[in-house]
Amino acid sequence: MLYYQSLEFAEPNLSLDSDDLQRRFYLRSRQLHPDRFARASNAEQQAALEASSVLNDAYRTLRNPVLRAEYFLKHHGFDIGEQRSKDVAPDLLEEVFELNMALEELKMGDESVREQIDHARGRFEHLRQGIDQQLEELFGRYDRQPEPGLLVGIRGLLNRRRYISNLIETATMAPSTDKS
């Protein structure tokens, strides 16, 4: 996988240590950045531009566990990104319905529901943290024993995470009457 190669990983792991990643990024930047080739030939300058843009892209993607997993899945033949918020998680249906009701009421000017919305957001954030922990665990298991079934599980978690993130964003973007 190109991004892992760019950062000189011997093998592409799903679990990465962020300090190690940063160390690799800085080291490779010192080698590849166009500043190092300011007086080189046009061809070398062009190559440096290409290589460092890939490197920057790689670092941006791999340091974020979600983007990293999506990149990884894509390279294993999974279709990522199309199942937006359509797949409502059945266990969340009731809570989503209540959140939407509360948001409607807030829009009508009922400030009393704000507490309820904040509470819902807190709960969704808690759920997301749980997913992140589960992802970390699955990453580790796959790195030790790469069974394709684990990737299916990871994809499921990613979809659920995306759905919950949308809910958190909706709750956060609730029309504010300036609480600050």
The residues binding another protein (CB under 8 A) are: 22, 26, 29-30, 33-36, 38-39, 49-50, 52-54, 56-57, 59-60
Return d(Cα 72, Cα 81) in angstroms, integer: 13
What is the three-state SS of the chain?
A: CHHHHHCCCCCCCCCCCHHHHHHHHHHHHHHHCHHHHCCCCHHHHHHHHHHHHHHHHHHHHHCCHHHHHHHHHHHCCCCCCCCCCCCCCHHHHHHHHHHHHHHHHHHCCCHHHHHHHHHHHHHHHHHHHHHHHHHHHHHHHHHHCCCHHHHHHHHHHHHHHHHHHHHHHHHHCCCCCCCC
Cβ-based nearer residue to another protein, 26 or 97: 26
The nearest distance, CB 24 to another protein, in angstroms, is 12
Closest by CA position to 5, among listed 33, 31, 24, 22: 24
Return d(Cα 23, Cα 31) in angstroms, integer: 13
The nearest distance, CB 61 to another protein, in angstroms, is 11
The nearest distance, CB 38 to another protein, in angstroms, is 4
Cβ-based nearer residue to another protein, 46 or 87: 46
Cβ-based nearer residue to another protein, 108 or 173: 173
The nearest distance, CB 82 to another protein, in angstroms, is 15
The two tokens of residue 118 are: 């904040």
The nearest distance, CB 123 to another protein, in angstroms, is 23
The nearest distance, CB 56 to another protein, in angstroms, is 4
Cβ-based nearer residue to another protein, 140 or 176: 176
Cβ-based nearer residue to another protein, 34 or 153: 34
Cβ-based nearer residue to another protein, 11 or 79: 79
